[in-house]
């Protein structure tokens, strides 16, 4: 115990008297000795705090390492890119790349555009040179022209899409650096959507121009539908009124072709020929043998184009409706005419043909880039990768040793000067305070005041 106590006393004495700034002046002057001891203590504290701060700061810091690879392959690019915290810069040797060199597009159209219903074989079987002997409101007089128009719309939509894709594939992508594998599909997707919308808008605008021109100029077709008008009130069907160029519905509302271009009524098969219809006035009723049969989805109106745009393809999905067509048009009894399947289209059977045209009859549009083809076209000459990693202990020690010399030199120079200045300032302030107090105690006023208190105290006693 005595040894331990002696060691503790010696340690305490060593710490208390430790002097790193010992010189000749401090040996002879107590003021400077005390100043040197205080400077030593403050120096050690500041040095310890500085060293700890430097170690913590450098341990938490990161350092960057630049790796350069010349003529990197796609596998090299993806390997480095897959590492966490990796950033790269790979300038392309070919800055401008045509989209057609690395993209592939697949477009699927409505099944009607691939079916027999838009073929010349089907259209020719529906056409009859004797259609003038059939009442113009009868579907038999309109069937061939309807499907011919439908085939034309399908063909025009396909050609418009084909031309738009050809134009797109000839356009170029500006790529100063290699695009990330994740960002390339996003960029192509944006281009793809813009291409779909712009192509559909151009087709829609042209269609609107044709419709407006046809109505404004009162252009007539081979079948003068806008001059065929009559009505019948003893049957529950909507028919036309003769002479007024108007359509009268069952609720007695009237629609004029001159002002409304899409006046139309459901289409029927009528058991009446043209000669009989010409002798019927607006006041006369049609004979009881009319027996109309509806053709699901199709309409008859002022202009065949307007009638078709309002029509739907419900009949082509319905086997019973196709049987009705075969019944009234025997020439349509051809092999291979099967109803369309709803599972093959995203459009409902009751969707108007106008809506499908505005959608370009497109069922599916897929534009996908091939990153390997894109990378081969880009062909970067070199890639510079920056790797960020935490400072290792050797780096921290090196940094500390590099700063330690300058830190100790600065502290050894500044600390003694500051402490000496501070202590001399305190000594001067204390001396001035004592001198001021002494003058105050020696002042006549203070002496009189003390005498007054002393006298009063004795008098009280």
Distance, CA of 148 to CA of 154 (rounded, Å): 10
C-alpha–C-alpha distance, residues 279 and 285, integer Å: 11
Using CA atoms, how far residue 148 sits from 46, 65, 194, in Å, is: 96, 69, 30
The two structure tokens encoding residue 339 = 């109803």
* Nearest of 243, 223, 222, 236 to residue 265 by alpha carbon: 236
Phi, then psi, of 258 in degrees rounded to 5: -65, -40
Asked if 110 and 359 count as a contact pair (C-beta separation under 8 A), the reply is: no
Q: What is the mean pLDDT of the chain?
A: 77
β 264-269/293-301 pair status? antiparallel
Nearest to 389 by CA among 67, 129, 115, 122: 67
Output 190-199 pairs: Cβ under 8 A, ≥24 positions apart.
191/99, 191/367, 192/105, 192/365, 192/367, 195/164, 195/165, 195/168, 195/367, 196/360, 196/362, 196/365, 198/164, 199/160, 199/161, 199/164, 199/360
Separation CA 404–CA 174 (nearest Å): 52
Structure tokens at 133: 């002997």
Arithmetic mean of pLDDT, 70-98? 79
Instruction: For residues 203 and 357, give the distance between their C-alpha atoms in angstroms, rounded to a whole number.
Output: 8
Round to the nearest angstrom and report the end-to-end CA distance of the chain: 62
Collapse the DSSP code of 86 into the 3-class scheme (helix H, G, I; strand E, B; otherwise coil) and give the result: strand
Dihedral in degrees, nearest 10, Cα atoms 34, 38, 44, 47: -130
State the pLDDT at residue 192: 94
Q: What's the confidence (pLDDT) of residue 45?
A: 86
Q: Give the pLDDT band (50/70/90) at residue 399.
A: confident
More confident residue, 437 or 57: 57
Predicted pLDDT of residue 279: 43
Ranked by mean pLDDT, the top range of 284-298, 302-316, 442-456 is: 302-316
* pLDDT value at residue 246: 44
Phi and psi at 410, nearest 5°, equal -65, -45
Q: How confident is the model at residue 85 (pLDDT cuts 50, 70, 90)?
A: very low
Q: Residue 338: which pLDDT band, with cuts at 50, 70 and 90?
A: confident
* pTM beyond cutoff 0.85: no
- Residue found by looking up tokens 């208390």 in the block: 16
How much is the pLDDT for 129?
A: 67
Residue with tokens 């712009």: 198
Cα 164 to Cα 199: distance, rounded to the nearest angstrom: 7
pLDDT at 164 over 70: yes
Question: pLDDT tens digit string along 47-72?
Answer: 888 888 888 887 777 777 777 888 88
Phi, psi of 179 (to 5 degrees): -75, 150
Report the distance separating Cα 240 and Cα 247, nearest Å: 5
Residue 160: what pLDDT?
A: 95
Question: Which tokens go with 194?
Answer: 């813009």
Closest to 177 in 3D by CA, of 23, 379, 361, 445:
379
Break the chain into its structural domains and give their ranges: 15-61+391-419, 63-92+380-390, 103-369
273 burial via Cβ count (<10 Å: 0-12, 13-18, 19+): middle
Please state the φ and ψ torsions of residue 444, each to the nearest 5 degrees: -60, -40
Query: Among 59-63, 267-271, 299-303, 441-445, which is the least confidently predicted range?
Result: 441-445
Q: Residue 221: its pLDDT value, please?
A: 63
Q: Are 386 and 86 in contact (CB under 8 A)?
A: yes
| 60 close to 437: Cβ distance less than 8 angstroms | no
pLDDT at 394 over 60: yes
Q: For residue 353, name the pLDDT band (cuts at 50, 70, 90).
A: very high
Q: Is 61 helix (H, G, I), strand (E, B) or coil?
A: coil
Asked whether the predicted pLDDT for residue 104 surpasses 60, the reply is yes
Segment 215-260, tens digit of pLDDT: 777 666 665 554 444 443 444 444 444 334 444 444 445 666 666 7
**Rounded Cα gap, residues 138 and 190, in angstroms:** 47
């Amino acid at each position: 115990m005595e040894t331990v106590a002696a060691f503790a006393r010696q340690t305490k004495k060593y710490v208390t008297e430790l002097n790193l700034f010992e010189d000749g002046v401090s040996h002879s002057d107590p003021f400077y000795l005390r100043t040197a001891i205080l400077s030593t203590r403050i120096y050690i504290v500041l040095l310890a705090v500085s060293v700890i701060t430097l170690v913590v700061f450098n341990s938490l810091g990161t350092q960057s390492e630049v790796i350069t690879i010349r003529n990197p392959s796609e596998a090299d690019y993806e390997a480095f890119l897959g590492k966490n915290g990796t950033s790269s810069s790979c300038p392309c040797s070919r800055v401008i790349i045509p989209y057609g060199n690395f993209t592939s597009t697949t477009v699927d159209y409505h099944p009607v555009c691939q079916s027999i219903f838009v073929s010349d074989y089907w259209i020719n079987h529906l056409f009859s040179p004797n259609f003038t002997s059939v009442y113009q409101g009868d579907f038999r007089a309109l069937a061939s022209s309807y499907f011919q128009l439908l085939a034309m719309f399908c063909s025009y939509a396909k050609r418009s899409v084909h031309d738009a894709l050809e134009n797109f594939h000839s356009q170029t992508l500006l790529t100063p650096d290699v695009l990330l594998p994740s960002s390339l599909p996003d960029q192509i997707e944006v281009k793809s959507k813009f291409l779909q919308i712009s192509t559909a808008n151009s087709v829609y605008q042209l269609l609107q121009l044709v419709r407006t021109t046809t109505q404004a100029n009162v252009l007539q077709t081979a079948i003068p539908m806008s001059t065929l008008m009559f009505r019948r009130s003893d049957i529950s069907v909507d028919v036309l009124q003769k002479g007024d160029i108007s359509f009268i519905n069952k609720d007695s509302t009237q629609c004029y072709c001159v002002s409304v271009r899409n006046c139309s009524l459901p289409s029927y098969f009528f058991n009446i020929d043209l000669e009989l219809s010409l002798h019927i006035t607006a006041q006369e009723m049609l004979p009881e043998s009319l027996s109309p049969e509806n053709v699901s989805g199709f309409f008859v109106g002022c202009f065949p184009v307007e009638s078709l745009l309002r029509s739907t393809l419900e009949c082509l999905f319905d086997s019973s409706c196709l049987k009705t067509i075969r019944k009234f048009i025997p020439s349509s009894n051809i092999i291979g005419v099967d109803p369309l399947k709803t599972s093959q289209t995203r459009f409902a059977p009751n969707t108007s043909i106008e809506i499908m045209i505005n959608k370009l009859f497109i069922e599916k549009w897929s534009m996908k880039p091939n990153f390997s083809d894109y990378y081969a076209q880009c062909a970067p000459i070199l890639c510079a990768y920056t790797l960020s990693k935490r400072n290792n202990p050797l780096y921290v020690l090196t940094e500390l040793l590099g700063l330690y010399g300058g830190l100790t030199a600065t502290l050894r120079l500044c600390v003694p000067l500051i402490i000496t200045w501070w202590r001399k300032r305190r000594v001067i302030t204390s001396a001035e305070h004592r001198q001021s107090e002494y003058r105050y105690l020696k002042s006549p006023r203070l002496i009189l005041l003390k005498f007054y208190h002393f006298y009063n105290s004795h008098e009280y006693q």
